[in-house]
Amino acid sequence: MKDLTLRTKPKIGNELIFLVIVIVALCVVSGLLNPRFFTIANFLTIFQQVAVLGILTSAMLMLLITGMLDLSYGSLIGLCSVVLCNLISVQGVDPWVALLIMFAIAIGGGLLNGFVVTRFGANPLITTIGTSYVYLGFAQIISQGTYQSLGGAFPFIGTARIGTIPMPMIVLVIVMVLMFILLRLTPFGRKLHIIGGNTEVAFLSGIPVNKYKMLAFVLGCAIAGLAAFVLTSRIGSALPTNGSGYELNALAAAIIGGASFAGAKGTIPGAFLGVLLLGVINNALNILGVDAFFQTVVLGVIIVITVIVSNLKGIERRLR
């Protein structure tokens, strides 16, 4: 067991070091091509742009560690955003009451996802694809396809700064630190790793597997609600498609950072670097004036290459 621990630790370190090297290389190249990239304001912009994605990625990582995933996050963000804005600007509900209702809906989404998966043994991928349509449909019904204004509520979350630091960046750091503690240093996190490593062993060792899966779904959707809050506060309005694509980007960032569909693998520092890599790529392409449609192609290619190279050792072992 001791030898196994010694062998696995360097592997995780190497993956993180590789990501750091890639990010630094992209920054250097981008800075050489356009000096505007190397400014404090631009780096703060990058962190502000990836804040919502980073918050959501921490939730996705938790599900992946447990051996599951949730592809309803994007639609749930849209639903939460629309509900929050509609309650405040259309229904005239007190903003803080509206916020509580929004988080109740986010938690309800987690309960629904978790109930279907744990009660009926349904596949999390198919289940959350299905519930994503449910959340999107409700968001469209509530908004009727029109913009919903936040009415200027909660500007301190999305647009305020403490000194020069954007508030979304501060929220991201707090969430990442708390999730690191939860997943790495608490019994809850250790049990999620055990479940992700081998569900049967976890069950036989006395861990209430379904209970912890349910808690993971609920906490993940609550974090998605927080991401919706930050996003809505930042842009000041909502559409059902506000969260479109965020779930896939969060999944990509977590996988790039070292998580695995097989479960029991992945770290918050790795997830953060995965998010930062995506942010640097997007920002660099914008500053360099790359066509918006071509940016999608470039981003996809870089993600695929990064995942392949960072997992090269694992591929070699499987081919032997």
pLDDT at 108 over 50: yes
Q: How many domains does the chain have?
A: 1
- Which residue from 266, 215, 279 is spatially nearest to 52, judged by alpha carbons? 279
Report percent pLDDT > 90 for the chain: 78
Give the CATH number, domain containing residue 99.
Answer: 1.10.3470
pLDDT in tens, 222-237: 999 999 999 999 999 9
Provide the domain limits for residue 259.
45-319
pLDDT in tens, 20-62: 998 999 999 999 999 999 999 999 999 999 999 999 999 999 9
Rounded to whole angstroms, the Cα distance separating 20 from 29 reads 14
Rounded to whole angstroms, the Cα distance separating 165 from 62 reads 27
Q: How far is CA 97 from the centre of its chain?
A: 26
Rounded to whole angstroms, the Cα distance separating 254 from 260 reads 8
Alpha helices, DSSP H, located in the chain: 2-33, 40-65, 73-85, 95-120, 124-143, 155-158, 167-185, 187-197, 199-204, 209-235, 246-256, 268-287, 292-310, 312-319
pLDDT at 69 over 60: yes
pLDDT, greater one: 118 or 14: 118
The model carries a pTM of 0.92
Determine the 3-state secondary structure of 297 from DSSP.
helix
Enumerate the β-bridge partners of residue 161.
166
For residue 166, what is the enclosing H or E element? strand 165-166
Which DSSP string do the residues of 110-148 spell out, in sequence order? HHHHHHHHHHH---HHHHHHHHHHHHHHHHHHHHTTS-E
Predicted local confidence at residue 12, as pLDDT? 55
Confidence of residue 295 (pLDDT cuts 50, 70, 90): confident
For 91, residues 6+ apart whose C-beta sits below 8 A from its C-beta are 98
8 A C-beta contact, residue 27 and residue 280: yes
Predicted local confidence at residue 14, as pLDDT? 74
Q: Is 135 part of a structural domain of the chain?
A: yes
- Which residue from 136, 116, 122, 148 is spatially nearest to 74, judged by alpha carbons? 136
Q: What is the mean pLDDT of the chain?
A: 90
Enter the tokens of residue 203: 């069950």
Q: Is 16 part of a structural domain of the chain?
A: no
For 170, residues 6+ apart whose C-beta sits below 8 A from its C-beta are 162
Type of residue at 124: P
The b-or-e profile of 17-35 (16+ CB within 10 A means b, else e) is ebbeebbeebbeebbeeee
Q: Is 182 part of a structural domain of the chain?
A: yes
8 A C-beta contact, residue 106 and residue 224: yes
8 A C-beta contact, residue 67 and residue 124: no
Q: Is 60 part of a structural domain of the chain?
A: yes
pLDDT, greater one: 315 or 15: 15
Predicted local confidence at residue 296, as pLDDT? 81
Question: What average pLDDT does the segment 256-280 reach?
Answer: 93
Q: Is 207 part of a structural domain of the chain?
A: yes
Q: How many CA atoms lie within 13 A of 297 on its CB side?
A: 5
Q: Tell me how far CA of residue 299 lies from CA of 53, 81, 245, in angstroms.
A: 15, 27, 13
Q: Is 14 part of a structural domain of the chain?
A: no
- Which residue from 253, 307, 261 is spatially nearest to 282, judged by alpha carbons? 253
For 6, residues 6+ apart whose C-beta sits below 8 A from its C-beta are none
Q: Is 26 part of a structural domain of the chain?
A: no
pLDDT in tens, 117-149: 999 999 999 999 999 999 999 999 999 988 999
Predicted local confidence at residue 10, as pLDDT? 39
Q: Is 56 part of a structural domain of the chain?
A: yes
